[in-house]
Structure 1
């Protein structure tokens, strides 16, 4: 009987005590964990291969977490959980805007980080289970979803998406012409309890519209149904 390999996690943080704590804690919970103390060490670690997820501190010496996230997004859609000692909403929004998939303010409990990390990894698995539904409906307008490569293509050219943006689009495309509530999308994409005022889905929809809509302010593909949620219309009609 064969067992699956453990998920590989890279922890990037300049605090040696926190770094060692996360390496030990995640390791005891079944992950294969490596670590780095700054951007240079992170890039060196990535030469051995892209991990399944990265836990990345915002405040790092040299290149900070925002700059590293931007650079990572050019190369990969690897899930990124960003950490920061600053919990202001603006920092969280900026982190998500540049491509992080989730954001956790310090201090935090290791159990919460573990839950969020597992949720990020489950999202990719959930997307894979929807691939059959996507096969028949993976094209809309000039776009197509590469469900194996987890990519969005426009006229054959890749559109840069974070893993969270791809998963949101995949969930919408798999349920065309059907309103999906914010709660449904949060449950599908994140899998852990959220703040009732969490606007991450709305922020992610806004970023997606900028990338696929001809007029993001008057969306044709991802439409808002007031008081209900979002509706994906593959024909691109506006109502």
Structure 2
């Protein structure tokens, strides 16, 4: 049986841009669906459960930030924010609300395609690696079940997005050692760290808060300044 096309929901109120992106992605083998309204996008994501969402920030009815916040309550797929805003605070806000990555308009189609493929490659790699899929990692009282995408502190479940779990799993594989920031960007986002990008820093910050919220400690993930991050969890 032929593999079904990857479904991409484009949430964009600029009809011309949405059509251009849709036609481009369809030509690259994707199944592109277009939605122009923020409130309707929430329902469409719930109904369709697309593989990935391209989410514009400026939308009628409900803006992209609020759409992201709402759908993260039930949607675990990848979200790529598409924004005309260039300030760092806007980029950070999108990531804080659950986006996996962002691109700034105007974006060359080739760059958008590269970002989509990078986000989807993490999913494909997980599915292709059966040995890893079945693995469990335990560091102190923190237990990670790779296949189930589940993180536990003792018996308490920690709700994580896909990229947050992947980041925690990456750190867990080298627990006690420093994972270089450059390596994290290449492994999770399939791009080089440019010295300015805050994407991974924001995901680390969210990850710390979620672990602390379920009984973990803030210093489980240590920042090694100028290098990267280190996971160290003491036994309970």
The TM-score by the shorter chain falls in which range? 0.7 to 0.9
Residues 49/144 of structure 1: CA separation in 2 closer, same or farther (3 Å cut):
farther
> 1:128, CA displacement in angstroms?
4.8
- What's the counterpart of residue 182 of structure 1? 181
Q: Is the 8 A contact 1:14 1:61 kept in 2?
A: yes
> 1:212, CA displacement in angstroms?
1.0
- What's the counterpart of residue 124 of structure 1? 123
- What's the counterpart of residue 163 of structure 1? 162
- What's the counterpart of residue 198 of structure 1? 197
In the aligned structure 2, how far is the partner of 1:136 from the partner of 1:194?
Answer: 29
In the aligned structure 2, how far is the partner of 1:125 from the partner of 1:174?
Answer: 19
1:99-118 superposed Cα distances (whole Å, 9 cap, x missing partner): 11111111111111111011
Q: Is the 8 A contact 2:42 2:70 kept in 1?
A: no
Residues 89/47 of structure 1: CA separation in 2 closer, same or farther (3 Å cut):
closer
In the aligned structure 1, how far is the partner of 2:77 from the partner of 2:38?
Answer: 16
Question: So what's the TM-score if we normalise by structure 2?
Answer: 0.88
Aligned residue pair count = 233
Question: So what's the TM-score if we normalise by structure 1?
Answer: 0.87
State how 1:82-101 maps to structure 2 within 5 Å: 82-101=81-100
Q: Is the 8 A contact 1:127 1:171 kept in 2?
A: no
> 1:36, CA displacement in angstroms?
0.5
In the aligned structure 2, how far is the partner of 1:75 from the partner of 1:47?
Answer: 8
- What's the counterpart of residue 235 of structure 1? 234
In the aligned structure 1, how far is the partner of 2:115 from the partner of 2:77?
Answer: 15
In the aligned structure 1, how far is the partner of 2:163 from the partner of 2:173?
Answer: 15
Structure 1 gap segments, 5+ residues each? none
- The answer to which of 178-187 and 118-127 deviates more is 118-127
Aligned Cα RMSD in Å?
Answer: 2.3
Structure 2 gap segments, 5+ residues each? none
In the aligned structure 2, how far is the partner of 1:128 from the partner of 1:226?
Answer: 34
> 1:154, CA displacement in angstroms?
4.1
- The answer to which of 43-52 and 8-17 deviates more is 43-52
Q: Is the 8 A contact 1:119 1:190 kept in 2?
A: yes
